[in-house]
Each structure stands twice: as C-alpha cells, then as structure tokens.
A and B are shown apart, each in its own frame.
Chain A
Amino acid sequence: MMRFAAGVLLALITAIGVGGAAFAQTGPARHVQAELVAQRQGIAPGETIHVALRQQIQKGWHTYWRNSGDSGEATRIKWDLPAGWQASEFIWPTPRRVPVGPLMNYGYEGEVLLPVALTAPASARPGEPITLKARASFLVCAEICVPEDDDLSLTLPVTPASAPQDPTWGGAIDKTLAAAPKPAGLSAVFQPRPAGVALAITGAALKGADLAGAYFFPFDATVIDHAKPQAIERGQDGLTLTLAPGYSFQGGHQPASMGGVLAVGDKAYEVAAAPGAPPPGASGLGPPPAKAAGGADLGLAAAAVFALLGGLILNLMPCVFPILAMKAASLAGHGGGDHAEARKQGLAFGAGSVATFLVLAGALIALKAAGSAIGWGFQLQSPPVVAVLALLMLAVALNLSGLFEVGTSLQGAGSGLASRGGTLGAFFTGALAVVVAAPCTAPFMGPALGWALTQTPAAALTVFLALGIGFAAPFVLVAFAPALLSRLPKPGPWMETFRKALAFPMYGAAAWLAWVLAQQAGAEDLAKLFAAAVAVALAAWLAGLAQRGAAAGGKPFVLTAGAGVLAALAVAAVAWPQGKAGELQSEPYSPARVAELRAQGRPVFVNYTAAWCVSCQVNDKVALSTHAVEQAFARHKVAYLKADWTRRDATIAAELASHGRAGVPLYLVYGTNGADGVILPSILTPDIVVKAVEAADRS
C-alpha cells in the first residue's frame, strides 16, 4: 500500500514536472519574479508616462533581448487596456552578451526594467483609478530553458495634472530610459567582403570616443553569426566592425538593411545601416589600443626599469628578427679585429635606436595631445608608411642578396676590415629596427607604455628612453666587449654566403608588410606595391650594373641616374596620397534591384566588371571615375550598379550570356522609358558615358 502510494505520488510529480517543462504555468519553482511598475504616482488625461515590466531574475538565469541571439526568445507582453489607452512597444535597454557553450545569446541577468510609453486618452476622467492589465511571456534560461507566463496588473489614479514621481521606481525607470540606446545621427553602411561583413558607422558621437570593446547588437537574428568576435577598426569619424555574416548572406544574397544597437563603453546608439561602401573616415586608425591593465600605480622608476627590461627582451621579438639579421651581418664583419670601428658602429646603432624611440614617442605624445585616438605602433597603421617600409625591406634584401652595394661598408666587410662610412649605416639600422619593432611592443610593454602615455611628457619620454636603451644594449655591449667580439668567427668567404642567407628573413619581412598593406588598404594598393617592388628590383639591378661598371673603370652615369629615378618613382607611387574621392558610389547588382530601380523611373547604369579584367579597370579609371561622369550621374539621378564577376556568379554569367557576351566588361544603360538596355562600347571615354546617360534620361 505504502509502495503504491509512493508510486502514485512519484507519477504525479513527474507529470507536473514534465508539464512544467513543456508549458510552465506558475509553479513553485519560478525563475523570474515579474511585476508592472510605474514612473509616476498617477497619470493625467492626455499625458504619456512610462510604466515598466520589471523582471527579477534568479542568479545564473537570463531572459532575452528583442533579438535573443543564437537561441531563446524575447520577452513579450500583451496589453489589455481600456478603450483609448495606448502602450508602446518595449524600450529595450542595451543587452548583455550571454555566451552559452559555442553559442551567443543577448539578454539580461539580475534585475531588468523593460519600459513602455503609456498614453492616457484626453477623455480619461481624473479621480477614477485605471487598471492596466497585461500578460507577460518570457523564456528564462540557464543551461536549460523554461517558458514562464504572468498575468500582471497595475492600478494608477488618473490625476488632474501631472503626478509626482513614484518614490520607488520613478528614478530607476528614468535612469533606464536615459541609458537606453537612441539614434544619435550616426550614418551606417555595410558591405560584404571576403573577411566578413564590414559595418562602418560614423558620426559626431563617435569622434574621439574610446572605441575599445565596441559591439554591434543586430535587431535581426539572421544578419550576423552572433558568436563570432567583432573586429574593431577605428577611423577619424567612427569605426568599422568586421562581422561574421549570418543566414541572410547565404547564396550571394544580402539583407536590405542592418539595424541594431552599437554599444560603446557605457553608451549605446541605434543605427540603421544601408548597403554601401564604407566612407574613408570609418577606418585607417587600427584597432583600439589594449587597455592598460594594472599599470595605474606604477611609479616612474619602476616603469623605467620595466621598460629597460622590455627593451632587452624586445630583441627576441619576431618583429625585430629581420633587422637582427642585418645587425648580425654587420657584427660578423667585425669579428676578430678592429675594435675601435666596432665600438663606433655599436654606439651609432644605439644612438639610432634611442633617437628613433624618442622621435616616435614625441610624435605620439604630440598627436595624443592634439586629440587623436592613437596608440603605440601607429606608424604601421598608415598604408603609405607600410608600403614604403615594404620597399625598404625589399631593397635591403636585394642588397644582402648581392644585387647592389650600399656605400662601401658591406663590400669592405666582405673583403676585409677597411670599412668606412659604416657609422651612418649603423645609425639607420638602429632607427629601422625600432620602427619595425614598435608594433611588437604594444602587447608586451602594455602596462608601462599605457602608464607612460597618461603621464607628463617628460616622464613618458623617460620611459621611452629606457626602452630604447634596453633595446640597443645587447648590440652596444657586444661591440664594447673585446672578449666577446674576439670570439666571433674570423671574417672570410663564408660571410658572403652568410649574408646571402640573411637576405631571406628580409624578403620575408617585405612579404609580411605587403600582407599588412593588403589588410589595410585592399587589393588595388597591393597591386601598386607589387608594381613598385618590381621597379625597385630593376633599380637595384641597374645600380649594381653601374657599380660594377664603375669598378671596371667606366662612368655609367645613365645607369645610376636610371636606377635613382626608378627607385624614387616607386616610392612616390606607393607613398603618394590616394585620390579616391572621384570613385563613384555604387551598389551591388542584382536583377531584382535593377527591376526595382527601373520601376522607380530612374536611369540605371550597370557595370559588369571583375578585378582581374584589365580593360574594366582602365575604363573605371579613365572614364567612370572622372568628374564629368560623376556630375552626369548626379544630374540625371542615375543608379549605378556594379555586377562584380571577380568570383564565379551564375546570375551574372546568365545576364552576360543574355546580352551575347561570354565575359566582362559589359556596360548597360537602361533608360527611363522601360526599353531594353543600351550596350556601350567596351572601351569607354567620359564623353561616351555622359552622352549615354543623357540619352537614357530623355528616353
């Protein structure tokens, strides 16, 4: 009997338990306590006040934001209001990120107020209480999820005039409303790229803001892969986030817009992004500097000591490795003799390193004082600097490979010890080592540098000075220690081999910098860099020919001049500021978009192009990117669509075939009369395009 009773009891409990898990009605184990609370003690006829759904959530559990992320369900509320009363949608506070295993959810923990604007009808009669009823449904999850429902009500008096603030909830609701994300006049565009969807957001609110930890919460769950990190790139006017694309980008599609909340520090802004090319002000300044953790109480002496040690260890960093190759080559040149020369060069190298550290630090402090949000290593955030450095690395590598010689120092080192003019070379080797090593210092020297940059300029310079001394110390010490120096192997023919082998780390450094440039500036600038690299190599070879000619007694002035001009042209080509202003704003092509635009009665210009199509690029440059064409497009409100066939695309291929083409370029202009598109010649001039556009607008 007892056993039977226990069995029945168990069955009952199980039944209740299962029912609870499936359609959880109010049971003993609620995870959320919910209630309705008001901002004011009453409401006047015609007035709008805020009331909030308050959720007190059990520790370790969470409810969800309007987009719940990878799983879950947003809290919902269904109002049952007397006639004439109106309640708005929730005004959602900025959510938290709640990672669940490999997934990411957006929601709230602890206590949350979800306010709505409540508007009384003008006909509401003062003196009569009003009861607001609502059914709140929410999913509350820890590792498991339970749906909960609550029938809630709140009674407020209708008052003749505005009522005073509610003493318990008024302040909290005001605070929630003040902190809630709002539009701040930010402009936003998004563009799918190979690395992810670039979301560029610019506007006054982001200028000079600390963008570390910036995060985009999309309203729609299909636009991004929530669990993936969002890479931040800062710009003068805002930032660019690189987002992992979500389902809406499957199969070559893209959403019509991307709305959401950008959270930056304790601020949050509503943004609505349209498809388009990011403006230049949204990037170019690199990721936000790492937060200086625990550096606040570091004294100057301690910071200087850390910096000195840091400088020493910096010699082992991969960034400096290629430069060490140069140092090693130079050191090897002094093995076994001429200690005076070695000391001179050691000091010159040290002076070069320290001076460059100080110059960079001074520039950094000045820029910081001028309000730029930049960090250490900033010089490598500028694409022209990276490009010039890449060419420099290539030149050094070509030199080590023996294509040409610089001065007589290395030649001297190869043939004996009679090196002259090596001092200046050593100074610049030191300078170069610092410029390239700087980005490596950021993660390693974070606390000391973070501290330094918040101090007076003099203290900051002291820290950087210590860093420079530490960095240069090993080389200088070796140069000053005859015992060490004499242990170095004797110079000989092996040095030529050694030197040629050392060229390869330098080629590697050039390749790495080219990759950095590709990340920063894109394929076009990379192509330019490669062209410049070929020119530099040609210049180096000509210079080598000239040198050998001179050695044989000739006067190869033409060769020398040619080499100089070529090298100068190469550097100018990559360092010159890019004139991108003339590039036409385009939007991605789709047949649906063409139909839509034509339905709006706009002339449409479709450019079927591809990165690998040289004539397409030429047409882009000489015709489409000209001022005349830009003005004509603006005048006739031409919609400019780009069908990018760089990667295989069945839609574009079919479209090309339907116009009897097997490839790009193809330029189609659709007139406003709905007739078939006019095909333009494959070689464009500005005049052809302008005339075609004018005809399209008339027709």
Chain B
Amino acid sequence: MILRRTLLAAAVSLGLATPAFALPQLGQAAPVFSAMDAHGHKRSLADFKGKTVVLEWTNSGCPYVGKHYGSGTMQALQRKETADGVVWLTVASSAPDMQGYFTGPTARAWAAKEHWAGTAILLDGAGVIGREYGAKNTPHMFVIDKAGKIAYMGGIDDRPYADPESLKGAKPYVALALADLKAGRPVATPVSQPYGCSVKYNSAD
C-alpha cells in the first residue's frame, strides 16, 4: 500500500499520471460534497446514504429553467419524487454578481415565488459542487442511486430548446430514470446531452 502510494506520488511528480477525467462517470461513486442550504443548514451527500438523490442545477434568470418552472413541470416532478422518498437537491452555482446567484434570502424568495418543492436548495456560489460534477448547464440533471452511484446524467428531457412549446411530447429522461430505478430496472437512457444556459461560474477561471 505504501509502496503503491510512493509509486503514485513518483508518477505524479514525474508528470506521468494521466490527467484526471473531467466528467463524473456513469456507474461510479458520485463525487461527495457538502454545502449550506437556503436555510443555513449544512447538507452533505453522506446525509442521504441509502436514498435516491436528484441534483438539479438552476439559475433563476435562465430561460431554459424558466421553461420548466414557468410551465410547472419541474415543481410537479419535485412533488411527486419527494413524496416517494427521493431527495431532490437544487444547486445554484452562479457566482456572485452573475445571473442566478443565490444567497439564503434570495433563494427562499425564489422558492416561494416558484412553489419550488424539492428537499433543499444548495448555495454553491463558489462553483465547487458544479465543477466537481462538471455541471455545464441549467438545468443539468444528475440522479444518484441508493448505492451512491451515478445512475443518470444529462438533460432533463430530450428537447434542447427554450421555447415552452417544446415541452409537448418531450421524453422526460429524469422522470424515466427515476421510474426505472424504482422498478429495479437498468436505466434505459442513463446519459444524455445536457442543455440550457451555461452555468454562470466565476469567469476568472
């Protein structure tokens, strides 16, 4: 073990280590995280061991987020899934001064206005969780199964458009993935193209 660690350290110092893979891997353990929620409570992925967890990246000013909240489909899914015991974490990774940046009070005001129905809104203004998961878009969705493994990653559905008309007949990947997990089936579409606005990370990096 020590030998292996030494070798690894040597490899890293020689620049021989392969670059870290940027994307979280399907079927692999979900990256762990902890953050403050809109009510000032510390939330960690470890708190939800044994439960199915949905991660939803959001930005209150993004028209794609607007499509799903304006029509009420996002809140309907949140209500249904949380009632079934699913943990739904809405993550706001917009940096301060960027569109969609949340503090506790602004997040609570938005939640009240939109009738948001998830478990917690995580304040990730530093973009730590966002980068950990390689979140590119709002809404970018991840589903973590009860074993803590990534079971779905990608778009909320198959319609990468801002136009609310596009909701008609959309294939709701996240809802389908959750249904598959509940039924104990393998997730039929475990990866899809995420779409939406870019996550408004601090541009300095």
Residue positions of A touching B, CB distance < 8 A: 21-24, 70-73, 100-103, 105, 137, 139, 141, 143-147, 194-195, 221-222, 225, 228, 244, 247-248, 250-251, 515
Contacts and interface: CB of A to CB of B under 8 A. Distances in A.
Interface in B162-190: 162-164, 190
Contacts of B161: 73
Given A101-B200, A137-B163, A143-B98, A250 B137 contact: no
Contact of B22 (A71, A72, A147, A228): A228
A73 B18 contact: no
A226 to B, nearest CB: 9
B197 interface: yes
B99 A251 contact: no
Nearest to A246: B23
B198 interface: yes
Interface of B: 14, 16, 18, 22-23, 25-27, 61-64, 66-67, 70, 98-99, 131, 136-137, 153-154, 160-164, 190-193, 195-203, 205
Given A22-B66, A143-B99, A144-B99, A250 B191 contact: yes
A133 B61 CA distance: 32
Given A71-B136, A105-B198, A147 B131 contact: no
A141 B203 CA distance: 15
A101 B22 contact: no
Nearest to A23: B164
A488 B72 CA distance: 83
Contacts of A225: 22-23
A251 B136 contact: no
A479 B179 CA distance: 81
A21 B18 CA distance: 43
Contact of A145 (B62, B98, B154, B203): B62
Contacts of A101: 198-203, 205
B61 A195 contact: no
Contacts of A71: 136-137, 195-199
B173 to A, nearest CB: 12
A244 B22 CA distance: 9
Contact of A144 (B14, B23, B197): B197
A482 B70 CA distance: 87
Nearest to A71: B198
A247 B192 contact: yes
Contact of B18 (A137, A145, A194): A194
A250 B26 CA distance: 7
Contacts of B66: 21-23
B191 A102 contact: no
A222 B193 contact: yes
Given A73-B195, A101-B201, A143-B99, 8 more contacts: A70-B136, A71-B197, A101-B203, A139-B162, A147-B63, A222-B192, A247-B154, A515-B16
8 contacts: A22-B63, A70-B137, A71-B137, A71-B197, A105-B198, A195-B18, A250-B153, A251-B26
Given A101-B200, A103-B198, A515-B16, A221 B26 contact: no
Contacts of A21: 61, 63, 66
A194 B16 CA distance: 12
B137 A247 contact: no
B63 A145 contact: yes
B197 A145 contact: yes
A402 B25 CA distance: 50
B131 A102 contact: yes
Nearest to B27: A251
Contacts of A143: 98-99, 200, 203
B35 to A, nearest CB: 19
B163 A147 contact: yes
Nearest to A74: B160
Given A21-B61, A143-B200, A225-B23, A247 B193 contact: yes
B139 to A, nearest CB: 11
B205 A102 contact: yes
Q: Which residue, of B18, B22, B190, has the highest number of chain A Cβ atoms within 10 A?
A: B22
Contacts of A250: 23, 25-26, 153, 190-191
Nearest to B201: A101
Contacts of B193: 221-222, 247
Contacts of B164: 23
A518 to B, nearest CB: 9
Given A21-B63, A103-B198, A147-B63, A73 B160 contact: yes
Closest CB pairs A-B (n = 9): A71-B198, A22-B66, A101-B201, A147-B162, A144-B99, A70-B136, A100-B198, A251-B26, A101-B203
